[in-house]
Structures are given as C-alpha cells and as structure tokens.
Amino acid sequence: MSQWPHNLDSEARAELLCYLVVSQLTALALTGAWLTVDNLVESMQIWLRANGGSTNWQDRLALAHAAEELAPRVAIDFPPDERGIAALFGVDRWQLDYRSPVFQSVYRACVAHLPR
C-alpha cells in the first residue's frame, strides 16, 4: 500500500493526461518516434512530483494507455522543431502553458477521452 493518498480528481487526471499526450507529441516531433514506456513513466513521475499528485498503479497504467491511444488521434498544429515546441511550455519547460491554443485543444481532447 502506498504511503501517500491517491489525490487526483477528474481535473488533475485530465491535466496529467494532457501532459502525457503533449510529451508524446513532443517526442514524435523531435525524434520521429513515440516515447518508450520508460520515458512515459518518467514523464508521469515528473508531473506527479511537480503537482503533488499521487495515484495508484492501475490509474497510472490507464492514463499511460490513454496517452498512447489519444496522442496519434489528436489533430493539432504542433510545432515541428525544438524552438517552436519550447515556446509552448512555461518558463521551467516542465509545465504546459494552458493559454496556448495548442494545449487548450489537447486538454479538451483529454477531458472528452476520460470517463466522467
């Protein structure tokens, strides 16, 4: 049993999924390949630590699978180069700038994808 409470509400789950989908799209734009499982797990851990989030392994697995499923289907105008991608992120490069129309589109897709 985890020492931390599982504290992701539906909004936090959508934000984490959005972060994972954007991570997938970033990897594809920069390397031509989707994230490996290890990279996806690392991205999830980064988001959870940065946001004080905690969830069980089943929820983590479901969100990782949702990101893998959703990323190829998200129809957005994602920048094709490192400079364009960097401009989408916040100052510390780990947080998404939700004012960006690109991230707003991804977030809406994530909210629609998650069960209510």
Question: Would you say residue 1 lies in a domain?
Answer: no
Residue 88, in any domain of the structure: yes
Runs of H (alpha helix) within 32-114: 37-51, 57-70, 82-86, 101-113
Q: Is 2 a member of any domain?
A: no
Tell whether 104 is covered by a domain: yes
For residue 40, is it within any domain? yes
Is 38 part of any domain? yes
The model carries a pTM of: 0.86
In which domain, by residue range, is 18 found?
Answer: 10-113
Pair 63, 17: CB distance under 8 Å: yes
Query: Are residues 8 and 54 in contact, defined by beta-carbon separation less than 8 angstroms?
Result: yes
Q: Does a structural domain hold residue 37?
A: yes
Length of the chain: 116
* Average pLDDT, rounded, for the chain: 85
Q: How confident is the model at residue 90 (pLDDT cuts 50, 70, 90)?
A: low
- Does the pLDDT of residue 2 top 50, yes or no? no
When pLDDT is cut at 50, 70 and 90, the band that residue 101 belongs to is confident
How far is Cα 98 from Cα 85, in angstroms, rounded to an integer? Answer: 14
Domain count, the chain: 1
Over residues 35-66, the pLDDT tens digits come to 999 999 999 999 999 888 999 888 899 999 99
φ, ψ for residue 4 (rounded to 5)?
Answer: -105, 145
Domain assignment present for residue 84? The answer is: yes
